[in-house]
């Protein structure tokens, strides 16, 4: 029996080994089996003739423009520099002030300030002339000086000054803690004094060739001068008063021609100091209470020659006050109500005109005679009677009163 079992075991083991050997042989044959499809494709690739590589050409450089001579480049730079706008020079603050001077004559000629701010401070016994248009001026702690300041678009502030003689033109005048100062003034708003003593005022008087143009540059109408309408913040007797009506510019300041300046002696003699700004009596009305009144209206077409028209009345009549304004249709109709000249209405509406209150011994008849030529030419209107004059003066200067001053624009 033992031999039988051994034999059977051998047969089983032999069958198992045979099967195992055949599986290993099949796996090895699959391992080395070649994919016919892949091989075929590879063969086609290998059989395809190889193209020769073409040499890569270097990129062509663009043709260079012929170089310009060095002289041309330099000339081009010079031409560009000539066309470029000039660089503005930075203002030096020292050019816009007079400070800590004593016994000197200082003059700024037209074109040196050009609408900038200016400062005058701590000067004593100096002759100071700022003959240009300015933005604003501050004058502090000056003593015994004679000062002219040209048309100033905004304010002139004078503070802590004493014993000074001044001629100013500005939109607003203000003084504080000053004493014993005389001023010939143009101000398009009511001048203000505060904590000041013995301040005396008169109407602006001065002349040089550029003065009228500077008034225009400062947006000031020469006909809108409220120099006499003083407002005192600290009212008390002796704070302020009026200068005599006949005080001239040379009574306060030395003539420019005498200082070797830009004005010649011949020019000074050829022109009057009331040639630019009309000389008005202002609120000094009690001095002329006995004189009759007339109302003169300079029509819009003649405003530019208004100064020459008013000059014809110089010495014969007294100009009390002047004002420039625009009238709407309602105001124009109201003003001409007593004129008997309705045809003038269309010319007046929304255009600048100048109203003038005039005092004379035989107004308005003598004034109409003096301005007869202008009246016939349609340049002026003169009130036809004392009743009409009273109505027109009250309407134009009192009822239509403005506090801010007229503007040219």
**Which of 309, 298, 319, 305 has its CA nearest to residue 382?**
298
Instruction: Give dist(CA 56, CA 146) in Å, integer.
Output: 93
Sign of CA dihedral 274, 275, 277, 281: positive
Instruction: Give dist(CA 235, CA 123) in Å, integer.
Output: 29
Question: How many residues are recorded in the chain?
Answer: 409
Long-range contacts from 138-143, C-beta under 8 angstroms, 24+ separation: none
Instruction: Give dist(CA 394, CA 292) in Å, integer.
Output: 14
Q: Please name the residues in contact with 69: beta carbons below 8 A apart, sequence gap of 6 or more.
A: none
Give the model's pLDDT for residue 60.
55
What's the token pair of residue 87?
């660089």
Q: Are 99 and 138 in contact (CB under 8 A)?
A: no
What's the token pair of residue 62?
């663009």
Give the model's pLDDT for residue 407.
46
Give the model's pLDDT for residue 363.
87
Looking from the CA of 408 toward its CB, the CA atoms found within 13 Å total 15
Q: Please name the residues in contact with 367: beta carbons below 8 A apart, sequence gap of 6 or more.
A: 294, 296, 313, 317, 358, 360, 382
Q: Are 187 and 172 in contact (CB under 8 A)?
A: yes
Give the model's pLDDT for residue 124.
98
Kindly state the DSSP code that residue 259 receives in the 8-state scheme. G
Model pTM score = 0.77
Give the model's pLDDT for residue 376.
84
Tell me if residue 42 falls in helix, strand or coil: helix
Q: Please name the residues in contact with 155: beta carbons below 8 A apart, sequence gap of 6 or more.
A: 136, 137, 170, 171, 172, 173, 174
H-helix or E-strand containing 12? Answer: helix 2-31
Q: Are 406 and 224 in contact (CB under 8 A)?
A: yes
Q: Residue 162's beta-bridge partner residues?
A: 143, 179
What's the token pair of residue 18?
């045979």
Give the model's pLDDT for residue 6.
59
What number of H helices and E strands is found in the chain? 11, 16
Give the model's pLDDT for residue 43.
44
**Which of 157, 179, 168, 259 has its CA nearest to residue 220?**
168
Q: Which residues of the chain have pLDDT under 70?
A: 1-88, 403-409
Q: Please name the residues in contact with 310: beta carbons below 8 A apart, sequence gap of 6 or more.
A: 278, 319, 322, 356
H-helix or E-strand containing 376? Answer: helix 372-376
């Amino acid at each position: 029996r033992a031999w039988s079992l051994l034999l059977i075991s051998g047969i089983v083991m032999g069958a198992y080994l045979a099967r195992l050997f055949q599986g290993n042989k099949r796996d090895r044959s699959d391992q080395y089996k070649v994919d016919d499809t892949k091989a075929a494709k590879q063969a086609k690739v290998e059989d395809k003739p190889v193209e020769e590589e073409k040499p890569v050409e270097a990129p062509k450089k663009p043709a260079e423009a012929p170089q310009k001579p060095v002289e041309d480049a330099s000339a081009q730079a010079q031409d560009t520099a000539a066309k470029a706008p000039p660089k503005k020079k930075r203002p030096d603050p020292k050019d816009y002030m007079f400070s800590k001077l004593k016994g000197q004559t200082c003059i700024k000629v037209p074109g040196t300030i050009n609408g900038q701010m200016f400062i005058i401070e701590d000067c004593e016994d100096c002759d100071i002339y700022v003959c240009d248009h300015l933005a604003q001026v501050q004058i502090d702690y000056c003593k015994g000086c004679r000062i002219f300041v040209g048309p100033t678009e905004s304010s002139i502030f004078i503070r802590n000054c004493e014993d000074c003689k001044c001629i100013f033109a500005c939109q607003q005048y203000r003084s504080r803690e000053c004493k014993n100062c005389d001023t010939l003034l143009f101000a398009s708003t009511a001048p203000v004094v505060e904590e000041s003593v013995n301040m005396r005022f008169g109407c602006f008087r001065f002349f040089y060739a550029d003065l009228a143009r500077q008034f225009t540059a400062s947006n000031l109408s020469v006909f809108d001068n409220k120099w006499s309408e003083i407002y005192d913040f600290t009212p008390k007797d002796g704070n302020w008063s009026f200068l005599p009506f006949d005080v001239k510019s040379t009574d306060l300041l030395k003539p420019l021609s005498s200082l070797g300046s830009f004005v010649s002696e011949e020019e000074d003699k050829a022109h009057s100091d009331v040639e630019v700004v009309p000389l008005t009596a202002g609120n000094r009305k009690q001095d002329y209470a006995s004189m009759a009144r007339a109302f003169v209206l300079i029509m819009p077409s003649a405003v530019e020659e208004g100064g020459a028209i008013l000059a014809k009345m110089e010495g014969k009549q007294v100009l009390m006050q002047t004002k420039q304004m625009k009238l709407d249709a309602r105001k124009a109709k109201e003003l001409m109500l007593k004129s008997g000249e309705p045809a003038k209405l269309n010319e007046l509406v929304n255009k600048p005109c100048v109203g003038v209150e005039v005092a004379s011994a035989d107004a308005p008849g003598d004034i109409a005679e003096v301005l007869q030529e202008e009246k016939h030419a349609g340049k002026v209107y003169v009130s036809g009677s004392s009743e009409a004059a009273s109505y027109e003066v009250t309407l134009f200067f009192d009822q239509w009163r403005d506090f801010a001053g007229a503007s040219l624009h």
